[in-house]
A and B are shown apart, each in its own frame.
Chain A
Amino acid sequence: MSVGATKIPVVVTEVVEVNSLIKRFRFVREDGGEMPGFSGGAHTVVEMDDGGTRRLNAYSLMSDPAERSGYEISVRRDDTGRGGSLFMHRHVKPGMRMLISPPVNLFGLDLRAKKHLLIAGGIGITPFIAQMAQLNALGARFELHYAARDRELGAYMTELSARYGDRVHRYYDVEGQAIDLPALLRGQPLGTHLYVCGPKGMIAWVLGTAGGMGWPKGALHSEEFLAPPVGQPFTAELAVSGITISVGAAQSLLEAIEAAGVEAPYLCRGGACGQCETRVLAAEGELLHHDHWLTDEQKAACGHIMPCVSRFKGARLVIER
């Protein structure tokens, strides 16, 4: 863990099957104390010991930020992923002890907004559940547009509609419903901020449409955690530590650094926060950038890499770690 924060020892107190793909987990502190305060949009990094492999996955906190007795997350099972969500679904049971990170918010609300327009796709609903609790308590104006494949997979839709009434708009792909984005964006009063969380294509569509209609960048917010992509194995020299490590096909460079016993900074582990940014000292080959932290110019310059999601293909890579 970076930024000097220590992990929080927690006990799993609830595991609820929300639907065929999503489970909800509740964590309370082992010592019975209060959880650190957080703001809507924050995430925690859950540490898993998967048969000797250490997995660290970031999940948005979905519980009410005003409620400090525990944290809740929802995990969508990804059968083709690297295994973190499968571990959560198969092995995490009530009573189990785990370590989680203090909350970090990379998707906070801008409370100067006159109105908050929230757009969610699928499991991207989770940060909004916490944000809406916060906005509701503040008496702030908001509206949720939530698209899911079908009624069964639209997690929490019924509860959210019951709680927030006509501020919640639901769309089901299989029923041919889609958000009429241009019309929705055209009708927003000046001072509206837009937040989008969901699949990559949806985020690009929403941000692209809004930008094309003249929405300023400062009013657009998005969050997408990337899973480290699987790729070809490669080796990397860590110049400061003076060692050479090999990175497995299903392992990220960051995980390989950690497995070698080298402390490296990180926060989100999903290419979003910038914490793990590392200087590249030599690269004979191609840096495979997967993050959305570095600018296109920085990526082209090959001077930096985000080891949490980015990889390398070539003869020799030396990084400052």
Chain B
Amino acid sequence: MQTQFDTTMRSRPRYGVLEPRPGLAHLIVADGEGGEAVLALFAQAPELLETARVIYMPGANGTDMTAELEAVKPAQFSRVPSYAAGRQRIVKVLGDAHMGLQVYVTGTEGLMGQVQRDAMEAGLPHDAVQTEHRGSLVRRVQCVHCKGITEHVRTDPFQCGHCGLNLFVRDHYSRRLAAFQGVCVDAEDPGEVPPAVERFK
């Protein structure tokens, strides 16, 4: 299922639907349920399989579509345990690539944002990376106070995993950091923290 998002502020990323585009090579990165979007892309354009390099990691919720993806036999397939573990490989592929590479990312926002950031650092315009959201809505949030990044944030507010402040999760998003912004929610009245609501499932 594709995800519907409320339109809020302009910096909040919006995602599309992966579509096959002409290219000399195709790098496809997915986590968890993003595997479904990858299969849909290949079903639409089986010829992509011949030059596709797929890097897949299971979702934080445990969803693992490795077997289904391997079964369609993309030219290259790698399973990595997490984005952190696979980043070096992604950066290497981007670094060795030539113009004409198409980059597709699908799955959680944290993954899409980080691959988009890696692609931008490799010199691609940010809108050259195709994205499609699938699966969990948990957020990657940077604390504006200590700059620490907390992954898989489910509630708003939440406690910063680094400095322990209570953070309100904004829709304000940074492409450079690939993270949403978290701001101290009880700066004026320390201790007056609204109850945490599970906003990101």
- List residues of A whose CB falls within 8 A of some B CB: 112-115, 185-192, 210, 212-219
Contact = CB atoms under 8 A, between A and B. Distances in A.
Contacts of A218: 125-128
Interface of B: 21-24, 94-95, 97-102, 120, 122-128
24 contacts: A112-B120, A112-B123, A115-B123, A186-B98, A188-B99, A189-B99, A190-B94, A190-B98, A190-B124, A192-B99, A213-B22, A213-B23, A213-B100, A214-B21, A214-B102, A215-B99, A216-B124, A216-B125, A216-B127, A216-B128, A218-B126, A219-B99, A219-B124, A219-B128
A213 B120 CA distance: 19
The 4 closest A-B pairs by CB, nearest first: A191-B123, A218-B125, A214-B23, A216-B128
B100 A186 contact: yes
Contacts of B122: 114, 190-191
Nearest to A117: B99
Q: What is the predominant secondary structure among interface residues of chain B facing chain A?
A: loop
A214 B24 contact: yes
A214 B127 contact: no
A191 B32 CA distance: 29
A115 B98 CA distance: 12
B33 to A, nearest CB: 26
A113 B123 contact: yes
Given A214-B22, A216-B127, A218-B126, 8 more contacts: A191-B122, A210-B99, A213-B22, A214-B21, A216-B124, A216-B125, A217-B125, A219-B124
Contacts of A186: 24, 98, 100
Contacts of B100: 185-186, 213-215
Nearest to B126: A218
